[in-house]
Every structure is written in C-alpha cells, then in structure tokens.
Structure 1
Amino acid sequence: MKIVVTGGAGFIGSNLAKHFEDLGYEVLVIDCFNSGERFSNGNFKAFGDYRNLLDFSGEIYCGDICDIKTLEKIADFAPHAIFHEAAISDTTVSEQDAIMRTNINAFVDIMNLAKKLGSKLVYASSGAVYGDAPSPQSIWASEKPKNAYGFSKFMMDKIASNHCATNPSAHVVGLRYFNVYGKSEYFKGKTASMVLQFGLQMLKSGKARLFEGSDKICRDFVYICDIVAANEAALKAKSGVYNAATGKARSFESIVDILAEVLNINVKKEYIPNPFIGAYQFHTQADLGKNANLEFLAKWSLEAGIADYADEIKEIFKKEQNA
C-alpha cells in the first residue's frame, strides 16, 4: 500500500509517516519545512523539521501544498491513501488570507486529486471548530469557532461532507483533533503542548507558571499514540467527521501534578492572570457519541501518556541546556 502524508515532517505527520513505514507501507512525505519565516505574531510559518524524520527511510518531497508541482508529485506517486496533515495550525495567526489559501483552497485541490486517483483521504480537522461551546462538544451541533484557524477547519468539514454527498464512492474522513501532546512536538515552538512546556519549565527552575483558576481550566488531552491509531482506523471508517479525543477533560493543574510526580520534582506553582480571556477555550471535552463508524477508542490516560513521554522531555531539556 502506498501512503502520502502531507505535513509529514511536522508533529503528527512524522508520527504517521514512521508508523505506516513500520507497517511495511511505501510512504511519501510532503512538507515545505521550516524556512525561518515568521507570521506577524512571531511564530514560525511552518513547523516541519528534518529531525522529526531521522528514523524515516521513505521518500521526502519538499513542496508547498498550494503549489501545482506538489499536487503533480502526489499524482505521480499514485497513493492508495492520503493523510492530509499540512496546514497553518497556529490559532493565533492573524493573516486570514494565508490561512484560507492553505487550509481551505489547498484542501479542495487535494480532495479533488484523491477523487481523480481513487485514493482514500484522511484529513486533520480540529477541536478548535467548537470554540467555547459548552462541553461535551458534539459534531454538527456545537461548532462555534473563535478564530480564523477554527473557521477554516469547520469549512473543510463542510466541504468534505458536501463532497461525499455528491460522490458516494468517495472515502473522505475528517478527524477533529483535540489537545494532542507527545513525542516529536518540540519543533512546534511556542505552539507545543502545555505538557511539554510545563515539563521544561519545571526541569529548568522547579517552577510552573499557571493561569489563575487553572484547576478549572480543562482540556481533552489526547496522546499522540491514540491519534495515530485514530488515523489508522479512519482507513476503514465510513466517510464523515469524527472527534479524535479521549472524551475526558483534565485540568492544566493536573498536568503539573502528574509531571511533578513523574519527573520527581517538588514543584512551586506560580499563578498569573490569563491574558487570553475572551479568545480562550476554558473547557473542551469531546462527545464521542457520533463515533460509531470509527473503530477507535483512546487507550492512553493522561497519567500513562505523560509517563511514556517523560524520557523525551528530559532529553529535550538536556539538549537545550547544552545548546
């Protein structure tokens, strides 16, 4: 089986590429890689990094998904399935035109290419489509995006749904990722999960900086191993949109407490005002009731995921100290 992973040098994409290669599939990674360019918010325009692919042995193509040459490369490869992870995924980016071109226009092109090739398409949607909707957030019932990124993902879901309605033979599955954390996310910089950010803070200073009220600020944190499993399950799922999450909400305070135990740190907590009130998700928790056609159930608890991730967090800290 031949697999294409767009955004394959990024966090989730690189995990998918290596997973399917380990299963014996022929994998083509598509990524534009980090050029050092930044958006107006100061964050990188691309997070793909070669170091996420040091254990990968398949083919790599450096290209932009908005470029026709990249689509031609995918067409020449003739994949059985495309895992579309490439996107502008930073929720604080204000360049709406770039978000819409990359996340919507390019998605339509890739979806039409998958139709032409007869390829299955699994794409990354996001829990950001729900904004601050009350928990649990349910598909086609709770969508209230609060930023351009969340809006772009919601539009992708609508476009995919309409595409499948008019093309019954199409296989298009969208996975709404909630708060994903785990191995290979380091190169996301400031947009990396709070699991990693808290872990590095604590190893460096023995302190963790939390927003006031963090014991009540909760997220549906899902470990990368479960996200990989959800993508694999999507190959056999009925076309549609599904929540890729645990269905359980955990507080930021609990992350710090688990890290303190796993890293063996007597942590000092510092509480600071939350500067993002008004544009912030205070509680996310996926409703999994509409996931019947996706044979996936998260297996990793927050405790188990952080424990599995701890060695990499320690290794990252050592490298930062020696840099």
Structure 2
Amino acid sequence: MIIVTGGAGFIGSCLQAALHARGTRTAVVDWLGSEGKWRNLARHAPDELVDPAALDGFLKTVGHVEAVFHLGAISETTARDGDLVWRTNVELPWTLWQWCARRGVPFVYASSAATYGGADRPEEFSDAPDRLQTLAPLNLYGWSKHVFDMRVMAHLARGGAAPPQWVGLKFFNVYGPNEYHKDKMISVVKIKYDEIAAGRAPRLFRSEVPGLADGAQARDFVWVGDTVDVMLWMLDHPAVSGLYNCGTGVERTYLDLAYAVCDAAGAPRDVTFIDMPESLRGQYQSFTRADLGRLRAVGYDRPFTSLEDGIGRYVREYLAPGTPYL
C-alpha cells in the first residue's frame, strides 16, 4: 500500500490516478468536504479514505506500506493563521518523517518554489542544500515550507534517523485538471480560460517592478502530469534522495500564457491589464525558473511539456468539453 496525504487535492489526486492505473493499493488521507471535491477521485477511488484527524490511529494499525507521498498542506500564499500553518506544514510532515524513519518507509513530500521568495535571477533558484540559508520567503506559506526543508537538512547534518529514501520536491506553478476546489489558489490558466468562456478578454496584473513591462512577469509553469512523472520516477528509483526543484526549467511570461489560452480556446489574443491588488503587493514573484541541474544529475531525463502543449491539452481535453476531471 502507498499512503497519499492530500490525495483528494490537485496534485495528490493526479498522483492517485497514476497509482490506480498501476494497480497499486492506496490510502488517501484527506477531507472530501461538501463542495464536490470527491469528483477528483471519482474515476480512481483509493482502497481506503482516511480522515486526517484519524491519521495517528491509522498509522498505528496499518500493515506494510511501500511509500508515503505527503502532499497535504495549507497552500494558500495569503494564509494568515500562523499556528495552523505551523501545525499543518511543519509538525505534520515531521511526524510522518519520523514514522517513515522508524518503519523503513520511503518518504516523498511537497516543498514549494515559494521558498525562493523574492529571487529574480536564474542563479537564485538553485536547490542545492548549501543555498537554503540564503532564501527569504515572502509569505507564511513559503516560510513554513522553507522551515521544514531546513529542519530536514539540520536533522541529517546531526546524523539523525531518516527514511531509507526521502525526497522533497519544490513544485513551481502547477496547472491542470482537478484543481477546481482551490478557490483563490487555482491556476492562472483556469482563470484565464473562464474569463474567455464568459466572453471577456483575459486580464493580467500590471507590473509593479520598475523597468518590467506589463505581462512580462515570468514563471515556470509546469503541467501536472509532469509532476506526477517525477514522483513516480522517484518511487521507481529508491536510491535517490534529496531536495529537488520540480518545474520545467523554462520561464514563460504571463502574456505567453494568456495568448496560449486564447489560441487553445479559439479566441482572439486580446488582453486587458489591471492593477495588482494590495494584498499581493510586495509578495508577488515576478520571475521563477527551476534550476534542474541536480534533478538531471541523478538521472531524471524525461522532457517537460511546453506551455503551449500543456495548455492546449488542458483546454481541449478537459475544460472545453466540460469533462474537467482526470
């Protein structure tokens, strides 16, 4: 059995779909709620669904576990409840780390590109462990992920017990099916498609960086299927451990993204610029690009989906036909 925390969420449910296709028994640890999140699992139900409040008891009684994928987290970049974020994003994964170390179970967890904070040059997106001390996240969410990465590295430096395999993946801007429950954290791709579908021109934030043109803000946008491929590759290569970036290694502008959505939806390339909301000013990353050097060095050689191909697939196979779930 493989345990997937956050397995009814966006990336987690896509991983669950892939594990189900492999015929792997799984236990998903998540809440389904009452807003249709169950649809993320409708085509690939897990063998067990565990209420997060019952996780401790489940871990005490579960039999053989092949691996734990910890994807559950408070992921809102605008989160304000520091105590809740700490318990969820730091203490919970640490509990799972210790459990995996005791039981000899591989542990793969989600970190985030939000740990890079205001970095705005390619060389500042290195995932090398000796660069961790230089990072300065801009928000509570990014800080909590950074704290956990730092805790892991400090623990290992002291010779602390570790799972037989451990992997932290710094996910960049992921988009694709099954993200619809994410509310304000849904991908820009989906937001732009909805605007076009409603007959409006897609809107982008004006740049707040001097000298940077509106729409030229750039991010590393990664198709969710590529993140699943990386996780499965890690599962199949148990000798690989470490903290790795998980993006495409290519930055693309928001204008590129908007145009790609327009093209996929058969709409004119008509974009409107609006002011950035006050809540995002000063904590908005205007540039991200995953440095994939270390991931490639350990043997991951698969290509990543281009922005145009990923958006085209998302729109044509999921959004436009009205069959949005994987």
TM-score higher than 0.5: yes
1:149 matched to 2:141: yes
Unaligned runs of 5+ in 2: 208-213
Q: Give CA-to-partner distance per residue, 1:171-200, whole Å, 9 cap, x none.
A: 110000000000111111221100111011
Distance 2:82 2:189 in 1: 28
Cα deviation for residue 266 of structure 1 reads 1.7
Q: 1:77 to 1:163 in 2, by over 3 A?
A: farther
Q: 1:294 to 1:123 in 2, by over 3 A?
A: farther
Cα deviation for residue 15 of structure 1 reads 0.6
Cα deviation for residue 157 of structure 1 reads 1.1
User: Given residue 205 of structure 1, which amino acid in structure 2 is its aligned partner?
Assistant: G
Partner of 1:212: 206
Q: 1:51 to 1:278 in 2, by over 3 A?
A: same
1:73 matched to 2:77: no
Q: Give CA-to-partner distance per residue, 1:245-296, whole Å, 9 cap, x none.
A: 0111001111111111111012432111122221110101111122222525
1:119-158 matches, cutoff 5 A:
119-136=105-122, 137-139=125-127, 140=129, 141=131, 143-158=135-150
Distance 2:86 2:57 in 1: 21
Distance 1:219 1:77 in 2: 42
Unaligned runs of 5+ in 1: 37-47
Out of 281, 293, 307, which is 1:302 matched to?
307
User: Given residue 215 of structure 1, which amino acid in structure 2 is its aligned partner?
Assistant: G
Distance 2:249 2:224 in 1: 15
Q: Structure 1 runs of 4+ off > 6 angstroms?
A: none
The root-mean-square deviation of aligned C-alpha atoms, in Å, is 2.1
Distance 1:158 1:3 in 2: 26
Alignment check: 8 A CA contact 2:120 2:286 kept: no
1:8-19 matches, cutoff 5 A:
8-19=7-18
Q: 1:294 to 1:191 in 2, by over 3 A?
A: farther
Percentage identity across aligned positions?
34
Alignment check: 8 A CA contact 1:233 1:296 kept: no
Distance 1:225 1:57 in 2: 18
Cα deviation for residue 128 of structure 1 reads 0.3
Cα deviation for residue 103 of structure 1 reads 0.6
Distance 2:15 2:301 in 1: 16
Distance 2:230 2:165 in 1: 15
User: How many residues are paired up?
Assistant: 304
Q: Give CA-to-partner distance per residue, 1:119-171, whole Å, 9 cap, x none.
A: 10000000000011123211242522011111111111122223444236631
Partner of 1:31: 30
Q: 1:158 to 1:113 in 2, by over 3 A?
A: same
Partner of 2:291: 287
Distance 2:245 2:143 in 1: 16
Q: Secondary structure at the match of 1:227?
A: helix
Out of 91, 94, 97, which is 2:77 matched to?
91
Alignment check: 8 A CA contact 2:105 2:163 kept: no
Partner of 2:253: 251
TM-score of the superposition, structure 2-length normalised?
0.87
Range with bigger deviation, 140-149 or 114-123: 140-149
User: Given residue 223 of structure 1, which amino acid in structure 2 is its aligned partner?
Assistant: W
Range with bigger deviation, 216-225 or 132-141: 132-141
Range with bigger deviation, 214-223 or 175-184: 214-223
Q: Give CA-to-partner distance per residue, 1:12-46, whole Å, 9 cap, x none.
A: 0001111011112111111023367xxxxxxxxxx
Distance 1:318 1:290 in 2: 34
